[in-house]
Amino acid sequence: MGVVALKLSDTTLGRVMCRPKGVIAGTWLILVVFVAVFAPYLTPYEYDIQDLPNAFRAPDAAHWLGTDEFGRDMLTRIMYGARTSLSVSTIAIGISVFCGMCLGAASGYFGGRFDRAVTAVIDLTWSFPEILVALILVAIIGPGVTGAMVAIGVAYLALFTRLTRSQIMAIKSETFVEASRSLGASHGHILMRHLLPNTLAPVIVAAMLATGDAIILEATLGFFGLGAQPPTPSWGGLMSSGTAQMFKAPWIIIIPGVAVAVTVFAINLFGDALIHALDVRARVRES
Amino acid sequence: MLLSVKNLSVGIGTLTLLESVSFDLAKGEIMGLVGESGSGKSLTALALTGLLPLIGGRVTAGSLEFDGTDLATLPKRKLRALRGRRIAFITQNPMTALDPVQRIGPQVDFVSRTHLGLDRKEARARTIELLTQLRIPQADTICSAYPHQLSGGMKQRIVIAMALAGNPDLIVADEPTTALDVTVQAQIIHLLTRLVRERGLALVLITHDMGVVAQACDKVAVLYAGRLAEQKPVHALFASPQHPYSAALIDCIPREGMAPGSLTGIPGNVASATAYPAGCRFHPRCPRAGAGCDTKVPVQRGLSDAGTVACHYPLNGALDV
Amino acid sequence: MSEPLVKIQSLSKRFDTPGGFLKKPRSMLAVRDVSLSIARGDIVGVVGESGCGKSTLARLVLRLIEPTKGAVCFEGADLTQLSRRDLRKMRQRMAMVFQDPYSSLDPRYRVADALAEPFVVQGARVPEGRIAELLEKVGLPNSMAQSYPHQLSGGQRQRVGIARALALNPDFIVLDEPTASLDVSIQAQIVSLIQQLQRDLDLTYLFISHDLGLVRYFCNRIVVMYLGAVVEELPDPNAAPRHPYTRALMASTFAPDPDTRQEATELTGEIPSGFDLPRGCAFAGRCPNVTAKCRETVPVLSRGPHPVACFHPIQG
């Protein structure tokens, strides 16, 4: 075996980064993730220590993004908020991708009564807005980080089940699946080696885009006071606490709002670049 | 000459996909344009019908003279008036050539109403007459059918009827029978050639099938990788092909009583437009390739049997320089 | 005569389309009562137009779909009765080459992985050097092992498809229109490769095609199908046709010779839908020699050296 030279343009990530929007969005996302992971080491203040004399300070040299109604540093709280928002949304989407792929693959591949039952339930959840599904679930589980994760995860389950199912149904009729069967391949082999790998690309893109939506959903739940409970900061919770002082200290609500908006925008941009990079047919056309 | 194509080149983007193709066609003649995928035969069809912009292509050099006017420089509006009226186009896939939500009758009527200015009644009468000529039983019932109710062969007849409806002088047919079953293909080819001969039309028949060429055409142009390899009257081509590619293409078709193992095909792969070999583009696959083939582009040379060939080492001698 | 390698006994396949709201359920016999025996080393061609059931037959023979009725015996063992595990073992002995080289290879598999898959599926290890050997057998350079399908031309992909079929050293290969979507020059290459492999490896072929000219060149026995049933079995490729449909099929093949032009075809009309078959002979609607009897009764395939299913066969 010769040495395989790894060219940047041969990897998916490399192709994403070849596009300007991929680079810009990717840089922002890496920054947010970095901040979220290392928040305890990066932040200048503690997120939960109140400093009432310094309440409602507008952004200045000591507090770059100002302080909130308890005098806590907004930058610190935003950085810790990124922790909550990102972990809740990615874990939630992770749950729904995994469960959705399993359900979708099984129902798409085997069909029959199981498929009809799954489709019926999925269609039912699909007809409710995600926020409603999430609210109902939070009402059952109770507010908090776990509740929000499960609620968001279930809210997006329908999306991934549907997507996987439709992909599997399309690929199942390709000749290479029949060719594999003619060799004596088992259902497990066909599912794990042919069908699922070929559905991965669109699922990854959808997961990326859904993570953006999940951040918004998490912020919404937080805004309603149903997400992470005080004093743990989350972007939605920060915005919620800012509403009362919207005119007195507008930065308290605007800054977390901008953080959500920019991050979601970056995720969508990155997802867009990913669509182009993962498209197998586009790759064929270029070569 | 009804149609005279001179040094036609067609490009898409920076690629030149058709290079310096020339041929003439008189009324009443059927000309076969043969070649494999990527030979440029469909591009020629699009150039003849002025439809190149549809695929982002353009004529980069040469002229397409149709009855005295150069189609390559004709303004779009005039070209549109000509297309469907004097030049008709039959596409490859009859399954997608018809509008699925419109009945057959109005689709065919449209052509004669637009181009011949007939009114509704006259147009329908003409449609029924055309369909009957194309041996479609119960033409009036078919007129009120939708395309999905018809078989493939029937649909292709409707497409042919639409081509004939404008009373054209030239028909360009791009692989009109490839999507059909063999017995139906035979019927359609016979029908098409009979109508063309009876009405004294000119037909450019694009195909990859040397059998169809032998059975239907008066003369043939063989294309390879965007260039003209050889052109000749059909009898001369089959009796003494001079370009090794033409000869090989004829030998690719199994004939009756052929010994097993005698069908070998042409080695290698069809040249790709992004990596054309230098010199003669056929030389990497050619059994006669010799000195100069990989560097010098062969020019078209006249032949004693009213054809031309572009080859440094043609078969069967008889070059008439 | 020795025991045939493959023996197909009155094989039938019915496809049902379920009814729905305001829609009656319909069923279609895609393959009707087909019997055929294939001796070791035979190249049997199956020809017919679209809807004649030739591809369904190919899949039934390898039990890629379950037959409605009938049996397929491979060296005496009935494939339709085998357990899943035994069938998998049996699949080492037979293989299939598919029509469309573009979709018959997984776009995510490199050539080497595609060639290794038969071994993986059988739970075996790939013997040392086997991939290179297979590539050489089908005339591909060893360097191609690391290529993805989209980097290959149609002809090269079909060669990979053939190499895959050869991987486990099968005795019997079903070829389902292996050249139909290729350029003519490539088609001839592939046919000649298949022919040479048959001689070198002593293979037995069932060759499915719509091209009678190709089948007559390539096969030593030809089965002609029309709407799911066998209408004629030509004992050798140059035998004169006895069924009017076979004759029409021959007349529809365009000879590459401008000196023998046919000006008309005897066949009119097109193949009826398999869902509403006529009562008698399926070909009655298009047959030039049709009589009242043909429209009433279904002709059965005669016995003897040159079987034909026609009440008025053409006399040689």
Nearest C-alpha in A relative to C86? A184
Residue in chain C closest to B183 (alpha carbons) equals: C252
Average pLDDT of chain A?
86
pLDDT single digits (tens) C162-211: 999 999 999 999 999 999 888 888 999 999 999 999 999 999 999 999 99
Looking at chain C, which residue has its C-alpha nearest residue B37?
A: C183
pLDDT tens track for C222-259: 999 999 999 999 999 888 999 999 999 888 888 888 88
Average pLDDT over residues C104-132: 93
- Tell me the nearest-neighbour CA distance from A275 into chain C, angstroms: 17
Neighbours of chain C (3+ CB pairs under 8 A): A, B
Q: Report DSSP letters for A101-135, one per residue.
A: HHHHHHHHHH-HHHHHHHHHHHHHHHTS-HHHHHH
Residue C268 has pLDDT above 80, yes or no: no
The rounded distance, in Å, linking the Cα atoms of B239 and A279 is 50
Write down the pLDDT at residue A286: 38
How far from each other are the two terminal CA atoms of chain C, in whole angstroms?
Answer: 27
Chain C residue numbers with beta carbons less than 8 Å from the beta carbon of A283 are 150
Would you state the pLDDT for residue A282? 46
Quick one: what percent of chain C has pLDDT higher than 70? 98
Residue-wise pLDDT for B158-199, tens only, equals 999 999 999 999 999 999 888 788 888 888 898 899 889 999
- CB neighbourhood size of A154 (10 A): 20
Inter-residue contact B121 to B113 (CB < 8 Å): no
Among C196, C210, C218, beta carbon nearest to B182:
C210
Lowest mean pLDDT among A12-21, A94-103, C109-118, C224-233: A12-21
Dihedral angle at the C-alpha atoms of C272, C277, C283, C284, nearest 10 degrees? -110
Percent of chain B with pLDDT over 70: 98
Averaged pLDDT for residues C32-56: 92
Give pTM, 2 decimals: 0.87
Beta carbons within 10 angstroms of residue C58's beta carbon: 23
State the DSSP code for A194. I
Q: Is C218–B260 a contact, with Cβ atoms under 8 angstroms apart?
A: yes
Mean predicted confidence (pLDDT) in A51-63: 82
Of the pLDDT bands very low, low, confident and very high (cuts 50, 70, 90), residue A285 is very low
State residue A4's pLDDT score.
45
pLDDT at B318: 52
The CA distance from C118 to the nearest CA of chain A, in Å, is 6
Could you tell me if B265 and C188 are in contact, meaning their C-beta atoms sit under 8 angstroms apart?
yes
Is C96 close to A197, i.e. CB distance below 8 A?
no
To the nearest whole percent, how much of chain C has pLDDT over 90? 67
pLDDT at C206: 96
Q: Listing from the earlier edge strand, what are the strands of the sheet with B87-90?
A: B87-90, B170-174, B202-207, B30-34, B219-224, B227-233, B308-309, B301-302
pLDDT of residue A9: 60
CB atoms within 10 A of CB B112: 25
- What average pLDDT does range A240-265 have in this prediction? 89
Query: Residue B149 pLDDT > 50, yes or no?
Result: yes
Least confident of A114-118, B94-98, B165-169, C16-20: C16-20
Is the CB of residue B229 less than 8 Å from the CB of residue B298? no
Confidence label for A3 from pLDDT (cuts 50, 70 and 90): very low
CA distances, B225 to each of A188, B272, C179, C258 (Å) = 45, 7, 21, 25
Q: Which residue of B has its CA nearest to C248?
A: B183
Q: Percent of chain A having pLDDT more than 90?
A: 42
Mean pLDDT, rounded, for B53-66: 90
Residue C109 has pLDDT above 70, yes or no: yes
CA distances from A45 to A42, A77, A239, A259, C261 (A): 9, 9, 20, 19, 94
**Residues of A in Cβ contact (< 8 Å) with C166:** none
* Mean predicted confidence (pLDDT) in A111-139: 90
Which tens digit of pLDDT belongs to each residue from B63-82?
999 998 999 888 989 988 88
CA of C80 vs chain B CAs: smallest distance (Å): 32
Q: Closest Cα to residue A64, out of A50, A48, A52, A75?
A: A75
- What would the mean pLDDT of C91-112 be, rounded to a whole number? 92
> Dihedral sign, CA of A70, A75, A79, A84?
positive
Task: Name, in order, each residue with C-beta under 8 angstroms of B188's C-beta and a sequence gap of 6 or more.
Answer: B153, B156, B157, B160, B176, B177, B180
Tell me what pLDDT residue C1 has: 52
Q: Which of C34, C33, C10, C22 has its CA nearest to residue C208? A: C34
CB A205 within 8 A of CB A271: yes
Q: Where are the beta strands (DSSP E) in chain C?
A: 6-17, 26-38, 43-47, 69-74, 77-78, 94-97, 172-176, 204-209, 221-226, 229-234
